[in-house]
Amino acid sequence: MSNETIIIGGGCFWCLEAFFRRLDGVVNAESGYAGGTVANPTYEQVCTGDTGHAEVVRITYDTAVISLSEILEFFWKAHDPTTVNRQGADVGTQYRSVVFFDDAQQKETIQQSRDAAQNNYSQPIVTQIVPATTFYPAESYHRDYYERNPDQGYCRMVIKPKLKKLGLEIAALPR
């Protein structure tokens, strides 16, 4: 087993974490913050838009089961990569579409994946592709949010319909 990681953002981290936890080969999906200038930011700080951080998910995956290209293919479907600083009703720089790369090979894979995904959109993909920065885990109450709160309003009205649309298991998974 060979594990690798990728950090992505595409709206609320609760959604992305719930989506990616359901993919075969994903070992862990952890909500957090990346891309900003403040060390150890809090959710409240990130929400101001002043830290530069995005809500992100650090995905650890088993390369023997799922490739980075497959993860990215799902990423483009799991959110709208053509909107700047917005996903649905979530608005602000913290909700931007972004992929953080660790090296030139990851960057190339991400760019090729983006270019292929562009064929599915009439508007240009605006996802930022940037060098990885420090990942700061989100507060414990944000982690595994959907699994702990499947009947909460946002989970019922936003996450569950997206899970269904993406053909993923709707029931909460064991944590």
Segment 104-153, tens digit of pLDDT: 999 999 999 999 999 999 999 999 999 999 999 999 999 999 999 999 99
Tell me if 173 is assigned to some domain.
no
How many structural domains does the chain have?
Answer: 1
Tell me if 115 is assigned to some domain.
yes
Tell me if 170 is assigned to some domain.
no
Report residue 69's pLDDT band, with 50, 70 and 90 as the boundaries. very high
- The pTM assigned to this predicted structure is 0.94
The pLDDT assigned to 89 comes to: 84
Structure tokens at 157: 């009205």
Q: To the nearest whole number, what is the mean pLDDT of the chain?
A: 95
- Domain around 34: 3-165
Report residue 16's pLDDT band, with 50, 70 and 90 as the boundaries. very high
Tell me if 42 is assigned to some domain.
yes
Tell me if 172 is assigned to some domain.
no
pLDDT digits (tens, 9 = 90+) for 22-39: 999 999 999 999 999 999
Active site residue 12: yes
What CATH number does residue 155 fall under? 3.30.1060.10
Tell me if 171 is assigned to some domain.
no
**Active-site residue, selected from the candidate residues 12, 15, 47, 155:** 12
